[in-house]
Structures are given as C-alpha cells and as structure tokens.
Structure 1
C-alpha cells in the first residue's frame, strides 16, 4: 500500500530529496551557463561568476551539473510514481513537500534555457517610455542589446496581453535599472502559476472522478513544467494557472468568475482565447439546447471582451495584441510536424528550380495548418457534447461531472490541434496539453508511457537548446557535452536503470491485451 509501508515511505522520501539535489545542481549550473544581461549586470564582475563563466573547464562543469540535475529530477519524479502507486490521501503532504523542495533552488537560479525574461524587461522599458509594444520591437530602445534578449524577438512586436505588459512595466519601474531585480516579479508570477496549478489540477481531476494525488504528481511535479516555468521564467505558468482555475469555476457554481479568470489568462497570453467557447459550454450545462448555448456563448464573449476592452482603454493600446498574435508563428522548429514538412517541401521546390517559390510554398503550408487548427477548434466547440462515461477513463459521480469531463477533453484536443498544426512547438507547450488531458483522465499503460517519453524528450530539448556561453568559449564543445551527457543519461533511465527502465516498457499483460482483437 503506497506510503503506509515503512520501506516505501522511506524510498518515497529518498526520491523527494533526490529531486531536491537535482534542483540544487540546476541552481549551481545556472551560475556558469544561465542567462544574464551580461554588460548591464554587476554580477559578472563578482568573483563567483567570473570563475564560473570565463574558463572552458568551469563552463563545461556547470553544463554537466545542469544535465545531471535535470535528469536527477526526472528520475525522482519517476520513482515517486513507483513508490506512491496507491495514490491514497496520505500521499499529498509528501507531494507538496516535493514541490516546495524542487522549486526552491530554481527560484534563486539565473534564467535557464531561455532569454524570454530579458525580453520581458525590454517590453517593460517600452511601456515605461510610452512606446507601443504592439508596433515596436525591443530594438526601438537605445542599447537594447545590453539587456540580453534573444535576437529572434528584438524586432518582433510583443504577443502578450495587457496584464502582462503592466507587470513588465511595474517590474522595470521597481528595479530602477537593475536587471536582476526586474527578474524577481517575473519569477514570483511563475511561482503563482505553479501554485494555482497545484490547487486546481487536483480539484478538477477529483471533480471528474480521477485521483487528485496522481494528477498533482503527473502535471505539477513534472520536471518539464518546473524547469520551464520556474527555471526558464516563462509567463505560460501564470497563463496556464489562471485558465485552469477559470475552467474549474466555470464547470461549477461560479461560471462568471470562471470566465473572469480565463480572461485574465488571455490578458497574459492570448492563446487561451481557445478556452472561451468551452467555458461557455460549461456555463450552459449538459441539458442546454442551441438557443441557450448561443446565448451563453454571446454572454461569455461579451464579459471577456468587455474586460479586455476596459484594459485597452486604461493602457491606451486597445486590442493591439490581436495583430501581434502571429508573432510566435514567424519561426519554426524541426520537431514540429507542420514546421518540418513546410520547410522540406519549400526546400525541394527551391532545389528543383522554383527560385523564390520555395518560401511561398512554405508560407502556404503553414497558413493551411493554422487555418486547419482554427477549423478544428470551431468544430470541437460546435459538435454536440455527449456526457456518456468512457469505460477506459472512468466516469465522474454525476451527469454534470461527465459533461464537464467531455467538454474539457474537447478543449484539450482543441489546444492539441493548435499546437500540433503550428510551425513552432516550444517544450512548455506540452504542459498546456498535459494539464487539460490529465484532469480528464490519462490511464495507465501506453497513454502514461507516452507522457514518460515526451517528458524525457522535452527535458533533452531544454538541456541542449540555449546555453549562455561567452564568445571565447568553444560553444560547439559545450553543446556537445550537453548533448552527450543528457542523451546518455536519458538512455540510462530508459534502458539500463533497473529502477526506472520498466516504466518505459509495456508489461506482458499489456502486450497480451494489444494482441487480443477484442481490445
């Protein structure tokens, strides 16, 4: 029985401290390869950071610490699954202890694997100087490069909503020119998002008849979430926390409050506009006819757009964020199916003598993908929802609960369509989908194993992507070390570690079931 056996209780605590050790290694590694506003930061003139960042041996040591730390957190997460398999209520204090211990060191780290936090500072400066961040990139600022933003985004308008712009402006104002102090509000916002997820993911899972402790472990303690939301300081944390909280209230007795929370999420990152029609369906209820559905869809839209319009009047920028929604779509990555396919086809057209037609073909394919994703979202919202129980996932305790489960599963597929049909998929997008699918049921077997593999994959993507290295340090060697250590560590977890390798392989019972034509 889960935690009640003394041996398993001790082993579960051991896994918690193993994850803490991994988070501590991420903190130490950030001193050498975490991101800072180099020329504007006084940290670079302190002995610790000079030692950690200016010699190849120190930089490689910090890189190894990062890789081992992240893999150790991943292993600890997997081991908790084995030790707490019963998921009784006594698991919750241990899971919350693990969340606190795994989060605390990363709260003190330099931003890891992403420079987005420095883009936030630049956008805050734009707001402070009275420039419109929806029409001006950070490059409109003097000495903008000293802030340390990624050059991919310095020319692009901000894709964020008014609430996040206000937070950026406040952070810059409070910091009084210090980039380190300006990071603190963003870290606290990321922590707030994780706290909201820790509160509402288990509640939503329980509402649909699923174990809340298992959902807390699966989503909130997932290293991909903690590394990207806390370590990398992404505002997706607060966005996701608010939308999950909003959906929880929209599916209960406070639908208007739920829509307000979803709207606040949109005012962080407008991608959660996708959630509005499904919030309207939850408000309408399982017995609603088309007249009631359209009436409450209209009311949902009116409440949300009314709040956003008021925000636009206050900041003087109106709905400028609508035009900036295309900003993330201007880049692509190799593991995004549409991104890869569009560029391969475009390359082949160019290779076969198409000249400039290759770029046009790439653009058309990506536009078709985005159009298809919008169509999928509309269809998922419009097709009648059946509140019938799924025997594979379980059923909630009431028809209303089953209806909420069905609506949220539709919403999960809507977000999945937008993510999978986009040319760019960031590692933390996985957490959007995992949160929505987990609260509507991810069964053991191949669905849970798919989460394991995706968690390993996106952890590797983070570890081998963006490392801050000075120009005189051989970046190819540093990245080669990161790839080598992280890939070997992941293979060890999946193939050789006797404690974890079984989680990545189907059991004999599963194999027999897959061979059975009745399954």
Structure 2
C-alpha cells in the first residue's frame, strides 16, 4: 500500500515540502545581495517577492515537518538504506537554492579569504580584512573575528581558494565558496549517516530510528544542507568519535539484539511480528528470547528476567575439574583486535574528537564520555577500573591534543579564537535560558526605575548559567562513570582446595511489569488481577523499546547511559551558554538520536527539533530579536515549570525497589 500516509507517500510529501521551501528561498532566503527582509527591522517594507517567499517557507516547512513526524511512526516498515535515499532526495532541492535561515556561510567564506590572504582572522572581521564578499556578511558581524578553531578556518580557506580559482565576478566566486562549504557540511552528514547506526546499535537503539531523528529532521535540512553550518561537521566528527570508542564486539552483540526488536514505531511504540536471529519470536503480545541473559516476555505484558544466567556468554561452569554443575564463575575473555581492544581505536576516537574541537570548542564536552566508552570495553573484561580509565584518558586526550596542535601549527593559527568567543556574547537573545532570565529581571528593574541595571542583570544571569552548566556537567559525568563501573564482571571468591569456586546464588526470577515494578514471581501469567491495561492495545515494555533493546543486554544499557549523558551535556551547553542559535542543536541532536529509545523523550526531542527550526526566518533574521519581552517571560515560565516538575517527581517517587536491574 502506497497511500499518502505510507512511507513512500510521506517520502513524496516531504520532497514536495522541501521543494516549496527551496522555491521560497529565491524570494526570502539569505541571498548574497541586499537582505530582502530588511524592512522588518528598519525603515521601509519588504516587497511582495519577500512575502511570497516567506509564505513558501512557512507552508513548505509545515509540510516537511508533518511528513517527517508521520514517517517516525512508520519506521518498522523501512530500512536504513531507504531512509538514506530519502535524506538524499530531500536534500537535492536545497542544494540548488540560496542559503536559508542564516548568512553565516558568507562569514565563513570571508574568514577563509582573510586567512588565505595571510591575515589573522582572529583579529580582523570581514570588513576589516578587506574581504571581497564582505557585503554579504550581516552588519552585526562585519567587524567580528572568527570564533572557530583552526580546522574550521582552514576548511573555510579551502573554500575561498577554490572560489578565487574559479574567478569571474565576485558573486560567482561567492557561489563557488558556498558550494564548497556545503560539501564540507554534507561530509558531516555522511559521518552521521555512517556512524550513527554503529553507535545506536552498540547502545541498543534502532539504527533506523537514530538516523530518522539525527539525519532526516527539518533542522538538518535547513541548517546542515542549506545553511552549511560548521556545526554539521562538528556533529559528524563527534558521533564518529563516540561510535569508534565503543568496541566492535558490542556493536555486533547489540545488532543481534536489535534484530529482536518490534519495529513498530520510533515515537510511541506499537506492535509487529519478526523472528530474531537469536531464536526469539517477536509478536503483538510479547517476545520470547532463547538466548542466555535475555528476557522472556509473556503475552500479558510481563517479562521474566534472570540476570547472570549460567548460560550467558562469558560465564563458565565447573568445580576443580571444570566439569561439575551448580556453580558459576565469570572469567574475563581475552581481548582481541576484533573486539576493538587495540590501541588504534582509542587513538582514532581521540583524533576525531580533536578535529571536532578544532572546528568548535564546545565539542570538548564529549571528551570524558569518549574516555569512559573506551575504558568500558576493558572494564567489562575484568581490568582494573581506575587504571583503565586513567590509561584511556591519557590515550584519548593526548591523541586529540596532538591533532589539535598539529592543525594549529599547520595553519599558523594560535589560540586567538578563545578571545573571539567573547564577541559572540554581545548579542542578547532569550533563546539562551540564563540570558532570557537576565532579560526578564532587567525589564523588571527598568519598570521600577533602574534602567542602568539591565546589563548587570544579564551578566549575572549568564554567570549563573555557566555555574549551572558546570554542576550539570559534573552530575552527568558522575552518572556516566557509575554506568561504566557497572560493566565490571561480578567477583567470585577463590575456590577452596579441591572444590568449586564459591559464588553468590543467581538472583531469583522476577516479573517486571511495564511500569518497572518488581513483584513476586508467584504471579500467574494471564491472571486478570495483574493485567496490563496496555496489553489489549499491544503496547508492552519490550514494544516500547522498538527503537532500543536495552533489556536484551545490560551492557548496552550502561553504554547507552554514557552516550545519553554526553548528549544531555551538549544540550545543557547549548541552552545555558550566553548565546544560542538553532544550528547549535545539530550536535546534541545527533548524539541523543543514537541513545534515545522511543517514548515521551524521543517525541519531545522531535517536537523541539521542529520548534527550534522555526526560530529563524528564511532571510536569517531570528524571531527572538522580534520577541524579546515575550521570550523573556517564556524563559521564566520554562524554568518555573522545570522546577515544579522536579519537585513533583521527588515528592511522588516511591521507595526504591530491592532490585530494578
């Protein structure tokens, strides 16, 4: 069936939406000449062409967003290859249209031209450096130095060199530079496409669902494909570093587990039927898995879980001669190159992260999480956690630092970009949560006759935001560390002379319902007293992991905690630092797409992605500039809602269960 609500119909619908958006770019986009929407803030009124283009932007973006959202409910019927083809089709109209929603690509070209000319882009803005295309750069950034690392400036220099080699009128050269910068951004998209699947599989999330959220969203279409932001390549390199840090054996095991998932939906779960290669059968009512350590789910929505099964991989039985039964002993398996245990992969992960930091410094937030993923594979095999984490930290950090230093030396650029970062903070917009709170306080102070205190209020709020970011970052690192330490195999007491090793008895079989409650195993499957109301609708706990199969392998769950912590740390940095632009969400979205199973969180991420994409007009003017007071009030409401939600959850949290593993 290929109706409008089928995957094929939604592919065509999305393509129509993208085509309408691309057509609108010719009238209201970020054109290299005069801003077609200049009258929105200054004297005059935009012409009819701009309004037609703006209508195309609104209508096309709505069509694209609706098709993408609906496609998220049909991921069980498509493959990763099908999604990648869809992404390519949706990108084509934007690649032949003017840039949308930002003029940053012109700033990149000028920064590259200044560096190519032998001047310092960390000291000169586009106008100060005599850039041939300075007229296309927004007036706000005409005198702002480059805030990007040496790798980003060098790539912009390559684009400028190609443009000057093309020759001809300045406008033609600028188009050539934009084309090269779009190729650079597309390389970031290719890295996401290639490594998101590997990372998602390693942490028990469907690669199809990860690519849908991280590669096909309207945010990617507008700001990666059309806008060609540096954040695109930063996102690709960060995802690649995280994926390479995960052992290949983990990806393989999770791939086998992912084959067991019910591929119904990416957003809210559903039902399906599939026989997995582990021998389990997934169907509308539940899943039976016949592999060691995997759950057995009954048709009434409960799962029987036996942890540390004596038949699980990596567990051997035996007494003094290794032949008797009834005891278990976990022996660390020797690490091989196929497991990703060689030194090459940690070095590669550090090098990729060093390149990402060489584009945008905020990528350094991923460093502790890459280190923990690298260390986790050895800890899982019985290595000393402290020594392993220290060795991983040294390997990853040194390799990343060497790459960054080599890029700085090769380009002749130092650390001037650090000082340039402060210039970006001169813009005051409510999209940065602490900035919005400071604006709200400033408006209040102005109302009571203290207009001079407005800037102070914003500065104090921004300092508080950085402090909050530090606290959140430490908490997420601690959570990731605890998850990594849980990868360690259980310890066993030494075997007495001539006897079997003494081990703790395996945990009793438990029944875990869809609300994660731990109950006595005397429950009888099918007993109406314990019926799950969602069972009739075919929604079971296993079904809700259609985008991830953490229940199939505890190690994948712990790795997913590390990757998710990295993603949320990047989210915190995006919204708590002094300035936020929609394209800043590309990096955290790409990471979280690989670590978020279906459910309310994934649905909220998808909805937020659409909302963030709509924060800018097609000519690059940000809606927050036009809505300062309402936006500041919105930030106060958001913070209040978050505090209330946190307090309610803390009050309603039940007493901890004995064992929720």
TM-score, normalization by structure 2? 0.63
Residue 154 of structure 2 corresponds to 166
Residue 255 of structure 2 corresponds to none
Counterpart check, 1:184 vs 2:141: no
Tell me, in whole angstroms, the C-alpha distance in 2 between the residues paired with 1:423 and 1:337. 8
Per-residue deviation, 1:198: 1.5
Deviations 1:177-207 (A, max 9, x none): 4111111111111111112111221221111
Given that 2:4 and 2:10 are in contact with CA atoms closer than 8 Å, whether structure 1 keeps it comes out as no
Counterpart check, 1:386 vs 2:483: yes
Residue 126 of structure 1 corresponds to 114
Residue 503 of structure 1 corresponds to none
SS in 2 for 1:163: helix
Per-residue deviation, 1:518: 11
Q: Which runs of 5+ in 2 are unaligned?
A: 36-44, 165-169, 248-339, 488-515, 517-540, 628-651, 657-661
SS in 2 for 1:274: helix
Residue 620 of structure 2 corresponds to 466
Deviations 1:298-346 (A, max 9, x none): 3322221122112212222223233333343332322332111012223
Q: Pairwise CA RMSD of aligned residues?
A: 3.1
Given that 1:35 and 1:467 are in contact with CA atoms closer than 8 Å, whether structure 2 keeps it comes out as no
The equivalent position to 1:412 in structure 2, one of 562, 567, 577, is 567
Tell me, in whole angstroms, the C-alpha distance in 2 between the residues paired with 1:380 and 1:127. 38
Residue 332 of structure 1 corresponds to 428
**Equivalent residue runs for 1:482-501 within 5 Å:** none
Given that 2:104 and 2:137 are in contact with CA atoms closer than 8 Å, whether structure 1 keeps it comes out as yes
Tell me, in whole angstroms, the C-alpha distance in 2 between the residues paired with 1:93 and 1:291. 41
The equivalent position to 1:376 in structure 2, one of 448, 452, 472, is 472
Counterpart check, 1:294 vs 2:390: yes
Deviations 1:127-149 (A, max 9, x none): 02222112222231237674311
Which is further off, 118-127 or 144-153? 144-153
Residue 438 of structure 1 corresponds to 593
Which is further off, 179-188 or 251-260? 251-260
Per-residue deviation, 1:19: 1.1
Tell me, in whole angstroms, the C-alpha distance in 2 between the residues paired with 1:452 and 1:380. 22
The equivalent position to 1:285 in structure 2, one of 353, 376, 383, is 376
Bigger Rg, which one: 2
Tell me, in whole angstroms, the C-alpha distance in 2 between the residues paired with 1:123 and 1:106. 24
**Equivalent residue runs for 1:37-436 within 5 Å:** 37-38=32-33, 56-82=47-73, 84-85=74-75, 87=76, 90-142=78-130, 146-176=134-164, 177=170, 178-252=173-247, 253=340, 254-285=345-376, 287=379, 288-354=384-450, 356-382=452-478, 384-386=481-483, 394-395=549-550, 398=553, 400-436=555-591
Tell me, in whole angstroms, the C-alpha distance in 1 between the residues paired with 2:655 and 2:27. 56
SS in 2 for 1:38: coil
Per-residue deviation, 1:160: 0.9
Given that 1:159 and 1:325 are in contact with CA atoms closer than 8 Å, whether structure 2 keeps it comes out as yes
Deviations 1:255-312 (A, max 9, x none): 2111111111111211101111211111222625234323432332222112211221
Deviations 1:2-40 (A, max 9, x none): xxxx3569832111111111111122111112223327x
SS in 1 for 2:140: coil
The change in CA–CA distance for 1:365 and 1:441 in structure 2 (over 3 A counts) is same
Tell me, in whole angstroms, the C-alpha distance in 2 between the residues paired with 1:197 and 1:117. 21
Tell me, in whole angstroms, the C-alpha distance in 2 between the residues paired with 1:121 and 1:164. 11
Residue 492 of structure 1 corresponds to none
The change in CA–CA distance for 1:131 and 1:351 in structure 2 (over 3 A counts) is farther
Tell me, in whole angstroms, the C-alpha distance in 1 between the residues paired with 2:349 and 2:210. 21
Q: Which runs of 5+ in 1 are unaligned?
A: 1-5, 42-53, 469-474, 481-514
Q: Give the number of aligned pairs.
A: 454
Instruction: Specify which structure has the higher proportion of helix.
Output: 1
Deviations 1:67-101 (A, max 9, x none): 2111111111122223x24x25x433332221111
Residue 22 of structure 2 corresponds to 27
Given that 1:285 and 1:400 are in contact with CA atoms closer than 8 Å, whether structure 2 keeps it comes out as no
Given that 1:208 and 1:396 are in contact with CA atoms closer than 8 Å, whether structure 2 keeps it comes out as no
Which is further off, 393-402 or 157-166? 393-402
Counterpart check, 1:447 vs 2:544: no
TM-score, normalization by structure 1? 0.80
SS in 1 for 2:582: coil
SS in 2 for 1:133: coil
